[in-house]
Amino acid sequence: VPPIAPSNAQKTFPPRGTRVPPIAPSNAQKTFPPRQQGQSHPPKQQQQKQECPTSSPLPHHAPTGMDQKYKNMSEQTQKDNLSNVTALKRNILLHWALQPPELQILRPLDHLLCSVHTVCPPSFGVPAHSYFSGWKPIPRTELCAPDGTLDDEKIKKAVRKVRFFLHPDKLPRDLTDEQEFACKLLWDITNDAFEDFTTAQEHLDWIQ
């Protein structure tokens, strides 16, 4: 397992002019780290039957390297002086990205996709811009199969929609530094949450 990157490491955000790489098919064959002794995984049927209504409890999982990164980020923002950018980062992490009450792991991907509009400008004092009013919130029903369970393909389609909207080539040239930072952070968190999601799906396939 690769070492955990420090919290202040520069994140990957594609330069203007690059294309968003296509999402790999869910059945792509990958190599996974060996299972640790005593480690257990939730049965596939239980995870697939996660209900879409908002009243359903959020799933819990053992902390991963990605979770540790966001735990460090949360702790660091509490120590830093609250400059405008630092305060914006802290608000996005606490109010959208991290799962309470521990605030150490990312919320489930479907929750992030359905609520990303709540942290776009003009949230948290960031100036408004007409570009963000063009985003249409993703209802939870668009992520679910007819039986009410989450649909992998619909979730991937929603991730592509978020990536397209936040892609640097699509952003207006007149964004402020805070607006651009918000887009970058939302892009990074969405990608990290999608990586967690696909890893969990692949582990379920691996243990079958």
**Residue 102 structure tokens:** 């521990």
Q: What is the pLDDT of residues 105-162, one digit of tens each?
A: 999 999 999 999 999 999 999 999 999 999 999 999 999 999 999 999 999 999 999 9
Is residue 85's pLDDT more than 50?
A: yes
Q: What is the pLDDT of residues 26-60, one digit of tens each?
A: 444 444 445 554 454 444 444 444 444 444 444 44
Query: What Cα–Cα distance (Å) separates residue 202 from each residue in 31, 33, 125, 206?
Result: 9, 12, 39, 6
Is residue 71's pLDDT more than 80?
A: no
Q: Which CATH superfamily is domain 62-206 in?
A: DnaJ domain (1.10.287.110)
72 contact partners, CB below 8 Å, separation of at least 6: 4, 6, 7
What b/e sequence results for 64-85 when a residue is b if at least 16 CB atoms lie within 10 Å of its CB, and e otherwise?
bebbebbbbbbeebeeeeeeee
Residue scoring higher pLDDT (95 or 57) = 95
Ordered by start, the domain boundaries in the chain are 62-206
Mean per-residue pLDDT of the chain = 77
Among left, alpha and beta (phi > 0; psi -120 to 50; other), residue 38 is left
pTM of the model: 0.63
Query: What Cα–Cα distance (Å) separates residue 83 from each residue in 19, 80, 86, 87, 123?
Result: 32, 8, 5, 6, 16
Eight-state DSSP code of residue 143: G
Contact 204, 43 (CB under 8 A): no
What pLDDT score was predicted for residue 17? Answer: 61
* Three-state secondary structure call for residue 149: strand
Contact 2, 164 (CB under 8 A): no
φ, ψ dihedrals at 65, nearest 5°: -60, -40
Q: Which helix (H) or strand (E) holds 206?
A: helix 177-206
